[in-house]
Amino acid sequence: MQFKLKFVSIGLLVAVVAASSVAVIVRANDEDAEGKETKLAQKDLPANVLTAFQKAYPKAEIKGVDKEVDSSGIVYEIESVEGTAKRTTVFTSAGILSEVEEVITMKDLPQTAQQSLKANYPEGEAVAIERVTRGDTVTFEVLMESDEAQTELVFDQDGKTIKTEMKAEDEDDEGD
């Protein structure tokens, strides 16, 4: 009898632990859903991420921080200003810099890209221009606006168009 009681007690304990584990996993997956962004205060950045940022950009002033889950896991986007330079940096939770987006001007684009924009969008206005660095790869992203259309173009380091995407005028530009 005592053996059966212990067996039933252990069985109930296993069932409770399993149910609790499923609840924790579901909650963690819900909170960390891929693509979900959460605003953070600078003080809430992990110390290793803040240290890595400050080492890479010692004179930059942090303007905003987001925690996001992407295909590689949890990343931290830090928006900053350093003099007239505006940039967004992306750090992994291990404190590794994985991406830098810097706001630039038309004159900072490769000459070939400038010529392409003038030829293909003569009435258009560049409303956002960024240099994006991921590892050793540098690309340039340009958001052109004309009449009722927006077009996002991506150029390689040589100014060759590698992507063109039409957007609706009211489409949100976040997440690109």
Residues 44-103 pLDDT 10s: 999 999 999 999 999 999 999 999 998 889 999 999 999 999 999 999 999 999 999 999
Count of structural domains, the chain: 2
pLDDT, residue 72, reads: 82
Write out the residue range of the structural domain in which residue 116 sits. 104-168
**CB-based contact 64:79 (threshold 8 Å):** yes
Residue 137 falls inside a structural domain: yes
Residue 112 falls inside a structural domain: yes
pLDDT, residue 169, reads: 59
pLDDT, residue 111, reads: 97
User: In terms of Cα–Cα distance, which of 70, 12, 76 is closest to 4?
Assistant: 12
pTM: 0.74
Same domain, 97 and 114: no
**CB-based contact 90:76 (threshold 8 Å):** yes
**Domain endpoint, select from 81, 101, 121:** 101
**Domain endpoint, select from 101, 124, 141:** 101
pLDDT, residue 17, reads: 41
Q: How many residues does the chain have?
A: 176
Same domain, 109 and 90: no
Q: Look up residue 69 and give its DSSP letter.
A: E
pLDDT digits (tens, 9 = 90+) for 93-152: 999 999 999 999 999 999 999 999 999 999 899 999 999 999 999 999 999 998 878 999
Residue 175 falls inside a structural domain: no
CATH of the domain at 54: 3.10.450.360
**Domain endpoint, select from 71, 101, 131:** 101
Place of tokens 């409770």: 16
Residue 117 falls inside a structural domain: yes
Residue 1 has pLDDT above 70, yes or no: no
